[in-house]
Amino acid sequence: MIIFMGVAGSGKSLQGKMLADQLALPWLSTGEFLRMLVAGERRRDMLAGKLLDDEDIIGLVQKIFTVVDTDEDFVLDGCPRTSAQTDWLPNQAKHGQLDITCVVHLVADEEVVLNRLLGRGRQDDTEESIRARFDEYEAAIKPVLQQFRDGGVTIHEIDAEGDPSEIHRQLVEKVRG
């Protein structure tokens, strides 16, 4: 499993899809699944820019893993986002349910992210919610990345602010490395 991490607007979906297509792998986006499957109050919270709790995300990812061959590599976009989710994923690997090939961390400045997200026009992309997501991401990402490092997982830091094709070239080079 190749895990894509980055703040909303860093290009996880674009780069994750491009890498999955190039390597002929499934691309699994927790955000896409959430937009398809979540309803009611949880959907209203999500559309207001709030993150769902760990139990909801882990439950969703477990469902996703039932429809993909976890014995083969695949690209996972949007999970983990918290320490609890990060604890859960390697635990799955320890039990032989999946293998973590590497983590791709797409790094982008807050203003770059803000401009990208305001330009895509989704209901949950208000300046206030974007800035709140960026702050939440900054607070959560450092411990999550450290957990992966402590577990011996390779992390590829990629500058996600440039031309998408150049970012993809660098990404492929590091992942194939």
pLDDT tens figures, 65-85: 888 898 899 999 989 988 899
Q: Name, in order, each residue with C-beta under 8 angstroms of 39's C-beta and a sequence gap of 6 or more.
A: none
At 157, which helix (H) or strand (E)? strand 155-159
pLDDT tens figures, 118-143: 998 888 788 998 898 889 888 988 88
Other C-beta atoms lying within 10 Å of the C-beta of residue 151 = 14
Q: Note if the bond before 26 is cis, omega within 30 degrees.
A: no
Q: Tell me the helices (H) and strands (E) count for the chain, helix number first.
A: 8, 5
Q: What is the residue-averaged pLDDT of the chain?
A: 91
The two three-digit tokens of residue 144, written as one number: 């999550």
Give the number of domains in the chain.
Answer: 1
Task: Count the residues in the chain.
Answer: 177
Rounded-to-integer distance, Cα 145 and Cα 154, Å: 10
State the pTM of this model.
0.89
**CATH number of the domain that residue 94 is part of:** 3.40.50.300
Rounded-to-integer distance, Cα 170 and Cα 135, Å: 27
Q: Which domain holds residue 59?
A: 2-176
